[in-house]
Each structure stands twice: as C-alpha cells, then as structure tokens.
C-alpha cells in the first residue's frame, strides 16, 4: 500500500468514527482530497486507492492537471476551492464539477455568463467569511442572506450549498454551527466545511463535504525560491 493510500484509509476511518459519534451515516460525508500543488502522479495514487473527488485552488493548475486524468477516470469529480478571479470564470466552468468559492456579485454575474456560454453548470457553493476576516475571501455574515437571494433572483444561479474556512485560532465549532443554520434557513443541502485539522468537528456540526489535503498527500511541495 502506498503512503497516500494508507493516509486515505486513515482519514476515511476517522470520518467514519466521527460520523458514528454524531449518529450519522458515513456515506453522508464526501471526502474532497485537496491535491493543490501536488503532481498528477499523486492524484493517480489516490485514484488507484478508490478516491474520486479532488479539490484544487487554482484554475490554471486544475486545467493542466485534470483533463487527462478525467479522460482516464470518468468518475473523477473536481472541486475548485480557491478564490476565483472573474476573468477565470469561463475556464472554471469548463473544468470544475463544483465551484466552492462564489463570494461576490461580479463573480456571480461572470459565472452566470460563463454557464450560458459553455452550456455546462457546475454546482455552486457560496463561500461565507464566518469570521468576518478582512484578509479572507467570502461573503461577510451581514451580507450572506442578501447575496444568496441575489444569486438566485438577479443572476439566475442555482446555489447548491455553502462553504467556510473558520479563523485559524478560533474554535471552529461555532462557525460550523452558524453555517449549518444559514444553510437550513435557505434550504441548502451542501455544507463544505472542515479541513485536515478540524474535519471531525465539522462532521459533528453537519458537514456534507470535508476538504483534506495535508493528511492525505503530505506537506505541499512549493518550488524553491530563486
């Protein structure tokens, strides 16, 4: 068994245990293996171990890495989880099955236009800045209700759910609970919340998707400074 396969097995076991504690079916939680900055070979190892759902931060990296992988593995599903520039909306719609970082009106308009032009509609998640952190992407709490309505009524978008990244130093549970409550208020079924360090807490609060990278693929390989 490869290291990635062993890591995947360990993460899935922890997900199953977290679901047991929360009295939930493990099948109700989808593991998104975050492969950003890792090579296609690492994704191949995860695919060989049965993982089919992956997450990438950057559109350009996803477009370079995943079309050949998808051709060989039709069951593969790709989530874009990083901040998305409006000028990359069409490429994002072309490559992704889920876009998790819808967070502002200009991006909503760009995605609506891209969906019309491409004839392809990835599932869309609104990213909420639950900690109202100025340096972080996401819709502020106070604007979340209005933005969700605008996505539907002004831009004609179907929003599938919500995503958040709690503040690093904060207890994540209140942030996850807030997001779950907001999703329930708007009748949204998908909750992408929880990463390598807190996905068990997210499952306890109702996460349907958890995004785990380091615990599966190891430390991210960054190019050496020149």
Distance, in Å, from the CA atom of 126 to the CA atom of 164, rounded to the nearest integer, reads 8
Q: Find the radius of gyration of the CA atoms of the chain.
A: 17
- 3-217 folds as TIM Barrel (3.20.20)
- Asked whether 215 and 196 are in contact (CB, 8 A), the reply is yes
Distance CA 154, CA 135 (A): 27
Contact 79, 100 (CB under 8 A): yes
pLDDT value for 223? 53
pLDDT tens over the chain, length 226 residues: 799 999 999 999 999 999 999 999 999 999 999 999 999 999 999 999 999 999 999 999 999 999 999 999 999 999 999 999 999 999 999 999 999 999 999 999 999 999 999 999 999 999 999 999 999 999 999 999 999 999 999 999 999 999 999 999 899 999 999 999 999 999 999 999 999 999 999 999 999 999 999 999 998 766 544 4
Task: Give, as one character, the DSSP assignment of residue 43.
Answer: H
Contact 5, 42 (CB under 8 A): no
Whether 145 contacts 174, CB under 8 Å: no
Q: What residues contact 116, with CB distance under 8 A and at least 6 apart? A: none
What does pTM read for this prediction? 0.95
């Amino acid at each position: 068994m490869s290291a990635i396969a062993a890591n995947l097995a360990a993460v899935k076991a922890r997900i199953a245990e977290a679901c047991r504690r929360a009295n939930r079916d493990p099948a109700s939680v989808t593991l998104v293996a975050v492969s950003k900055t890792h090579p296609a070979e690492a994704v191949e190892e995860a695919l060989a171990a049965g993982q089919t759902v992956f997450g990438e931060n950057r559109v350009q990296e996803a477009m370079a890495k995943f079309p050949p992988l998808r051709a060989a593995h039709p069951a593969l599903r790709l989530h874009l989880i990083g901040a998305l520039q409006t000028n990359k909306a069409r490429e994002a719609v072309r490559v992704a099955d889920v876009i998790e970082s819808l967070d502002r009106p200009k991006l909503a308009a760009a995605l609506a236009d891209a969906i019309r032009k491409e004839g392809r509609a990835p599932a869309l998640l609104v990213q909420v800045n639950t900690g109202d952190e100025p340096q972080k992407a996401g819709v502020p709490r106070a604007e979340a209700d209005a933005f969700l309505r605008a996505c539907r009524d002004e831009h004609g978008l179907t929003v599938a759910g919500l995503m958040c990244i709690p503040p690093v130093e904060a207890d994540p549970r209140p942030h996850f609970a807030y997001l779950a409550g907001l999703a329930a208020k708007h009748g949204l079924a998908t909750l992408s919340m929880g990463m390598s360090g807190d996905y068990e807490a997210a499952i306890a609060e109702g996460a349907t998707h958890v995004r785990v990278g380091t615990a599966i693929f190891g430390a991210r390989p960054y190019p050496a400074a020149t």
